Chain A
Amino acid sequence: MKGAEIIIECLKKEGVEYMFGYPGGVVIPIFHHIFNAPFTFILTRHEQGAVHAADGYARASGKVGVVIATSGPGATNLVTGIATANMDSVPLVCITGQVSTDLIGNDAFQEADITGITRSITKHNYLVQDVKDLARIIKEAFYIASTGRPGPVVIDVPVDISNADTEFVYPDKVDIRSYKPVYQGHPVQIARACRLIEQAKRPIVYAGGGVIISNASGELRDFVHKTGIPITTTLLGLGTFPETDPLSLQMLGMHGTYFANHAVHQSDLLIAVGARFDDRVTGKIDEFIPHAKVIHIDIDPASVSKNVKVDVPIVGDCRHVLAAMTKEVNPPEIGEWVAHIADMRDKHPLTYDDRDGVIKPQYVIEQIYELTKGDAVITTEVGQNQMWAAQFYTYTEPRSFISSGGLGTMGFGFPAAIGAQLARPDKRVIDIAGDGSIQMNIQELIVAVQHRLPVIIAILNNGFLGMVRQWQQLFFDRRYSNTCISFAPDFVKLAEAYGAAGIRVEQKTEVAPAIERALSITDRPIIIDFRVEREENVYPMVPRGKSVKETIMRELA
């Protein structure tokens, strides 16, 4: 069997439903067999769209996203998407074409050293040098991408390997002596953690994307309900614990709630689960948790004690570890603490200055929540739109919030929404976008039209690159250098040009009807161009490198 056909056979064996990508010279032999493959091929209009769509598909489904691109520019166009997936631990297998082995290193046409380029932004990568290794490598790639701390794997396939013949044998199992992820937490560490929890007076659970990745939301809920410990989540942890639950403090971090950030700051025990103490969470690291001991549960040993000193590290899968802890732990006595947090919540709620006559972006998000009854899958772009989507939609289910957290990739949200919609045809998928971000991958609109995907793109259009403008306002003397983008396309006409629906909303009273109209359309994507308050800021805000004590709560007069 030829290498190209082996690739398709391997993908079939892995149960691939969707493949995202774009053809080109050296992958024509592979596309020759994609032509009649049993899975659906999603031809995006840019390779970056393909990799983000595969990422969105992976995050929404928990399955591995599969991408193909040609050599050179095709492969380099994947780079941002691969780095995005790597930062957020998303399982992807990216197949890139490569020039033939005898030309590698020759500066051949459309040659790029993609294994070299992606070495530091992949979990692992391969350059296939012998067609006999191809099936094993693909098997390993799926295994590495989806186990342990997941991540993207690149397989670079020279065109002569695709054309070479060998016997096809797909290995039954993978045995990599140098890669053995640990799933079970150490019982001694689990016992130590439980004793610390039982003695704690002011404990907080801090849960991240790792809980969602390991499908441990059920175990997390059991743990929190048994112990009664209040819980805050990271941006990527949104939905792992229902924000409707009284124990939820919603999101922490730079734009987290006052009560989450202060509860963490005042805590005497921080139980970190599948989170990695990102600088957007901790702020000034020395003042982050001055009184707290730390229990850190994570599958990646390198995440433990990287940014903060950890008292009880537990390396393992959140699902196993949380289940074991729930069984063993006795609830601490923390009535006063819970009451104190409730009091902080009453005094400093998450809020905004809603007014008649203008459309506040936060109001738009709240209306989307109301009208979808919280049952949508929300994707976001990056910037203010992302933070408002995190703050003002109430998440109750894992995999209902999909956003580029670690890398902060503008242009991610819409292609990710396409992938998410394919993964979840039973849900409405809504991309909360800014007028800046949406223009970064707008070309994928035609893909949503072609596949009749009713993705709603809610543009919070303020004519600015809003988050950068906010920083310029607060920290750079209001010099709005190159952040005003009011010279903009007509998004309604643009939608129509692509065959999508377009709705413009200029009055607050039109917000809800527009969302309802969008929700009633089920056979094509819809752009809603919300003309929101132009200089609205995201609050609260802990300025970069500062502690929670310096939180800016609202607009200073």
Chain B
Amino acid sequence: MIAGINIYEILTLTSILFFIGLYGFFTRENLITVLLSIELILNASALNFVLINTYLYPDLLQGAIFTIFIIALAAAETALAIAIIINLYKLIYSVEVKDTETMKY
């Protein structure tokens, strides 16, 4: 628990981070930058798990374990998505969302 900080300030911080990621997800037109926004969203939720665990149930470990799972999932998702993006670039020489009309070849 952070001395002098209550849980509302922390939840405000993570909510702002989440919706910044959502804004990026809506406005970006490049597949890599869309992935960056997804990373922001996942990090906001992981931070939420840890901080709520710390503030409300400090003697349990669930938040930390779920955060480890979220980080593993985020790494897996990034690796696979970047593989797809590179393959797509080899096919159509572009990674813009508007050029991505077919994913099957």
A binds B: no
Which residues of B are at the interface with A, using a C-beta cutoff of 8 A? none
